[in-house]
Structures are given as C-alpha cells and as structure tokens.
Amino acid sequence: MKRGKVEPVEAHLVLADGTVFAGEMMGATPEEGFVTGEVVFNTVLSGYQEVVTDPSYAGQIITFTYPHIGNYGVNPDDNESSQPFCRGVVVRELSRRHSNWRATQSLDQMLTSRGISGISGIDTRRLTRHIRNLGAMPGAFGTADIEELKVAAANEPGTDKIDLVKTVTCSETYRVASTGGERKIVAYDFGIKSTILENLSELGEVIVVPADTTAEVVLEMEPDGVFLSNGPGDPEPLGYARENIKKILGEVPIFGICLGHQLLAETLGAKIFKLPFGHHGGNHPVRNLKTGTVEITSQNHNYCVAEGSIEDVEVTHVNLNDGTVAGINCLTVPAFSVQYHPEAGPGPHDSRYLFKKFEHLLDPSNKQEMPDA
C-alpha cells in the first residue's frame, strides 16, 4: 500500500530583534501555536540525541549547525536524561529516513512523543552567523503569524537570573550502583547527565541528591567525595548551592563540571560573566597549562569564570578559542573543576583522565597531591 504524502506545515522562527526565518514544523505541534526560548547553536557533527536530552539546555532552543540531522535515528540507550528539557530544536534538513541497527525511532518521532517542537528548512548558516555577530537572544517559532511570534519573542525572558536548575533536578535521592570502584560519591544533581553517572560509577557507588540538599545531609552520608554536576542557565540565583558548597569545602574532595565549575568558583570568590553566544559543541580546543597538551573537548555553557577574579586558585586549563578559563585547582583544599565535559556524550574522550584525577583525590593520603593528567 502506497503511503500518502504528508504535506509540510509552514512555520517561522522570529528572533527578539525582529529577524525572521522561514521553515516547516517538525516534532510536536505547539499548543499555543508557538514555543519560545533562548536561541543558541551547537556545532556537533553527530550526537544530536545526546544534545537534545542534555538537561543543560533547559530554557533554550537548540540550533544544529550541521546541515543534515536525524539520519541514524534515536535509541533508548543514548538519552542523557529521562526526558528532554530544551524548548525546541532548529535544523536545516531533517532526514526523512533513518538507518541504524540500534535505532527504535526517528528523531521526529522522538520529539513528537516527548512534546518537543522543532522547525526544519531553516537557513541555519545565516542564523548561526547572526547569533555569532549579535549574541544569543530570545526567539519564538511556530505556526502563529509573524507579528504574534515577534511579540512572543520579545516577551521571552531568556535564561538570565532565572533558576532553571529547579526545573531539571531530581525530586528525591537515588543511588547508582558501582561498576568497579569501592568509593562512595555524593553527586549534586543540577542537571546531571547519564554519561557522567556512568563514569562516576566506575569509581564507586554514586548517591545522587537534589540540588537543594543541605551540606549537613550530604556529610552525614560520609562520602569519600562530592561531585558538582552540569546544569542549565545562570549560576547567580543558586545561592542555596553556594552555601552548601561552602560548608563542604575542606571536608571532602570536590570535583565540579560546567555549572558545577562555576558554582565552585563563585563559592571561592570568583566573578561570573555571560559569554556573547556561549560554547556549545564537541570540538572546542582547551590547553592543559600544566602539561602543555591540547584537549579537544565537549562544551555546553553560556556563562564563564572571570580570569583573575579569584584568589587561592590556579587556572589549570584555558579555552584556546577565546582565552577563557576552562579549569581551576583550589590551592588550599582538595577541590578542582573544569568548564567543559570530560565525559563527552557526545564528543571526544580526551579529558576522561579527570575522573581518574578525582579518584586519586578520594584516597585520603592523596588529598594535597593533584596529578596533572
């Protein structure tokens, strides 16, 4: 039986500055005729499923710069969270067919089943250049008329000064069994990815706690170390997290990634600033200042630690694209962090040695000995 052709549904993407892009709807149909969010771009060549399901994209509309998305479908094993938290997805061309032995759905089917709207047929090269020139900004897309989309985009608050962590953190504590090690690690869930949990579980049992869990409760668990996870948005509203980190510092070793890096640095006195269009992709070069080696890293953040704004800390890694701080070691207590994602998911594995570095710190006899790689 021959399938009937599905007619495309015309849609538009409108940025807060009034710029309009024409396209076609994909994924879920927006209930109000449109969705809004902060429009950013990601430069990965593959791994779109991991990107879409990364909780760090809460509040954002993801633009993929790679022109052809969806060709290998999606599968339940590659999700980075139980559900996507992004507001929407923008692509140049959505693959009409997918082919991979692991695939159980198309990307379009996954977006539809999870209630995530998308728009295809967009000139993503033009959109990316626009964001690079003017910075990430709010936007709206859907089937509503252009004037309504302009109003919706103008009213979208973006991610500044909004606590997005509370929208993605777990509601109660849960445990991830060890797959090799014998340590006990408490992981603060600010938007933690499943690939991070896989790497941590190689070191020992992982106890994942909600973002607002008090330091007293964490220390009562007698962990060998505490992990500060990635997460979405602006660290400024997360005063409760900084207060808990302050109480944990010096009690047990701490390792932070992405938002966890920013929160650790802020707790130590650093200033945080917003990047013009953020770092989102799997090809960011970072120099390890101790070894001189260059690591190709996976990154996903809009905010960054200001260089020179913090004492008793040494900068260990620098982003070679723009010179921003990409890693720190605390000189007075056993704590370190990086702005990027050593677990990848998706991306290269150049920086997975950092989990071994954390394991080294979990040994009480090594608390003041920080291996370089």
Catalytic residues: 258, 341, 343
Contact (CB, 8 A) for 129 and 44:
no
List of residues 6+ apart from 31 with CB closer than 8 A: none
Q: Is 175 exposed, middle or buried (0-12, 13-18, 19+ CB in 10 A)?
A: exposed
What is each CA distance from 296 to 201, 288, 338, in whole angstroms?
A: 24, 11, 13
Pairing, β 68-69 against β 60-64: unpaired
DSSP state of 33: S
CB neighbours of residue 63 within 10 Å: 26
Residue 171, classed as helix, strand or coil, is: coil
User: Dihedral of CA 273/275/278/282: which sign?
Assistant: negative
Residue corresponding to tokens 């999606």: 74
Residue bearing tokens 């089917």: 109
Query: What does 112-169 look like in DSSP terms, one character per residue?
Result: HHTT-EEEES--HHHHHHHHHHH--EEEEEESS-HHHHHHHHHH---STT---GGGTS
Phi-psi map region of 297: left, alpha, beta (phi>0 left; psi -120 to 50 alpha)? beta
CA distances from 5 to 70, 110, 224, 349, 368 (A): 19, 20, 59, 42, 65
Residue 75 CA: distances (Å) to CA of 62, 79, 199: 20, 8, 20
Token pair of 245, please? Answer: 């980190």
User: Do 149 and 14 touch, CB atoms closer than 8 A?
Assistant: yes
Q: Which two tokens stand for residue 107?
A: 């990307």
